[in-house]
Amino acid sequence: MDPRLVRVHAADNVAIVVDREGIPAAATCSDGLKTREFVPQSHKVALSDIAAGEAIVRYGTPIGFASRAIDRGSWVREELLTIPPAPDLDTLPLATAVPQPQPPLEGFTFDGYRNFDGTAGTRNILALTTTVQCVAPTAEFAAERIRRELLPRYPGVDDVVALGHSYGCGVAIDAPGAAVPIRTVRNLALNPNLGGERLVVSLGCEKLQPDRLFPIDESCACGGDNLVRLQDERHRGFSEMVAAILEAAEKRLEVLDRRRRVACPASDLVVGLQCGGSDAFSGVTANPAVGHAADLLVRAGATMIFSEVTEVRDAAHLITPRCRSEEVARGFIREMRWFDDYLRIGGADRSANTTPGNRRGGLANIVEKAMGSVVKSGTSALVAVTAPGERVKKKGLVFAATPASDFICGTLQLAAGMNMHVFTTGEGTPYGLAMAPVIKVASRTALARRWPDLIDLDAGRIATGETTIEALGRELFDLILGVASGRRRTCAEKLRLHNPLALFNPGPVT
């Protein structure tokens, strides 16, 4: 078979090499193009002669300008592109091309846990919320004992997790940036997969006092029925602290254990979308399939969250027209501007994104990466924008502003209320979260085959023509409903791969 290329958009003057071994020099590709040199898999080849200064176009968008003339059939290496300026936030079109709603998809349900606040969980997990890192090993120790000694008696409860983090003290808790980590800790505890049974483990003297998170009922033993303070004078030593946590946990387990899965409409799904370890295929296979699944889920009434400001910033001009109202578009611009400022103060800019792996995988710069990343959002209208750590309350497609760091983004999406996570990857990462199932989608078949116990879905079959974006998107839609219902477990769940939470703290530590 002739070497294969993928062109995404009719206006593109570059295409991506599909073949795993790359394409040798002087090879004739499936569409008749002859290569002038070796071009590795997932890297770009010039489809026409490109003059110095001319735009290099992928996804129908200039991803850079040729730093010198590039002949048709050449490898368009990273160093041949100069990066274009980011879209000007002052002149973006606001809600000028709002997509019409697609026909609703009726009747899709999953078996979930109904919460008293109207949300639904895909898992039934007891969480120990912590106010401060001081209590982390104690909470972890208690969680391990709960898992071993109590959980077997409460088979209806899936797991117990200690929500450890590095915030809570030794931080400037009244600095402008502090609101973000504080509301993140609060909203993590409110995640639908935690069933509303809050249990806070506090030290006692920390800056982030429990009542900054929740109203605390002080009437019961150990400082309130939903709070264990380690410094409480009633605890004699470590063993009694742990015993107090176990006692409080058991009350929560009794409530959680009585819950049963019930049919919930697909509109109760809150699916967080993310990519990590991306390559040039991510924007061609995995992310478009996720985008199609997102469109289906929006039609079924679900909330679909996309995030990662630095991977959206260069596509801002594609997002603001899609916003349902000018107000939503202005909210989006506000988050972009906040992050521009945040990076500038830290002596960086959007070009700090893209990793060695991204570049090895053929992504020349953050513009190309962003174009491939936003494809995950599908084609629906954007109905809301939330700031980092805020809870998402709207149904439909939502932009929850977060850094692109996989763990900070995952943590903030959990705080936003995510009860299912979809993670696309090209280079591969053994990613997992404790609080929500993570479906990992590979952009390349080679990765899916090499990591059968880590990858849940192979989107590489799109590049090889074995399936289509639409068919794989539908497959993912079904998989999300199956995993949400507990009928299927993800690779990360089977291996219990839980990346630690990572809070976004734009304020200083002290």
Binders in 398-417 for its own copies, by CB under 8 A: 403-409
Residue 454 Cβ, how far from its own copies at the closest point, in Å? 5
Distance (Å, whole) CA 485 – CA 261: 8
Nearer to its own copies, 166 or 464 (CB): 166
Distance (Å, whole) CA 76 – CA 45: 6
Paired residues of 37 in beta bridges: none
Applying the rule CB under 8 A, the residues between 84 and 143 that interact with its own copies are 133-138, 141
Applying the rule CB under 8 A, the residues between 440 and 499 that interact with its own copies are 450-454, 491, 495-499
Span near its own copies by CB under 8 A; candidates 47-55, 82-90, 155-163, 227-235:
227-235
**CA distances (Å), origin 171, targets 176, 182, 205:** 12, 11, 13
Applying the rule CB under 8 A, the residues between 173 and 192 that interact with its own copies are 173-177
Nearer to its own copies, 232 or 478 (CB): 232
Task: Report the amino acid identity of residue 377.
Answer: S
The reply to whether 70 sits near its own copies by the rule CB under 8 A is no
The reply to whether 79 sits near its own copies by the rule CB under 8 A is no
Is beta strand 125-130 parallel, antiparallel or unpaired with respect to 200-202? parallel
Among 130, 136, 131, which Cα is nearest to 207's?
131
Nearer to its own copies, 206 or 268 (CB): 206
Among 364, 365, 388, 246, which Cα is nearest to 309's?
388
Nearer to its own copies, 205 or 221 (CB): 205
- Residue from 265, 301, 321, 430 in contact with its own copies (CB under 8 A): 430
- 260 burial level (CB within 10 Å; 0-12, 13-18, 19+): exposed
- Residue from 343, 375, 400, 439 in contact with its own copies (CB under 8 A): 343
459-467 CB contacts, 8 Å cutoff, 24+ apart = 459/285, 459/286, 459/289, 459/424, 460/281, 460/285, 461/285, 462/284, 462/285, 462/288, 462/289, 463/4, 463/6, 463/18, 463/281, 463/284, 463/285, 464/4, 464/18
Residue 449 Cβ, how far from its own copies at the closest point, in Å? 9
Q: Binding mask 305-324 vs its own copies (x if CB under 8 A, - otherwise)? A: -----x--------------
Span near its own copies by CB under 8 A; candidates 106-114, 289-297, 326-334, 342-350:
342-350
Residue 441 Cβ, how far from its own copies at the closest point, in Å? 16
The reply to whether 205 sits near its own copies by the rule CB under 8 A is yes
- Residue from 241, 284, 290, 397 in contact with its own copies (CB under 8 A): 241
The reply to whether 237 sits near its own copies by the rule CB under 8 A is yes
**CA distances (Å), origin 305, targets 125, 223, 263, 344, 505:** 22, 37, 22, 26, 21
If one counts every other C-beta atom within 10 angstroms of the C-beta of residue 66, the result is 19
Span near its own copies by CB under 8 A; candidates 75-83, 217-225, 291-299, 421-429:
421-429
Residue for token pair 């058991």: 250
Nearer to its own copies, 230 or 328 (CB): 230
Applying the rule CB under 8 A, the residues between 242 and 301 that interact with its own copies are 276-277
Residue 21 Cβ, how far from its own copies at the closest point, in Å? 13
Nearer to its own copies, 3 or 276 (CB): 276
Q: Do the beta carbons of residue 316 and residue 86 sit within 8 Å?
A: yes
Half-sphere exposure of 10 (CA within 13 A, CB side): 0
Residue 387 Cβ, how far from its own copies at the closest point, in Å? 15
Q: Binding mask 348-387 vs its own copies (x if CB under 8 A, - otherwise)? A: x-x-xx-xxxx-xx--------------------------
Residue for token pair 């939502």: 398
- Residue from 203, 398, 435, 441 in contact with its own copies (CB under 8 A): 203
Write phi, then psi, for 494 (nearest 5 degrees).
-60, -40
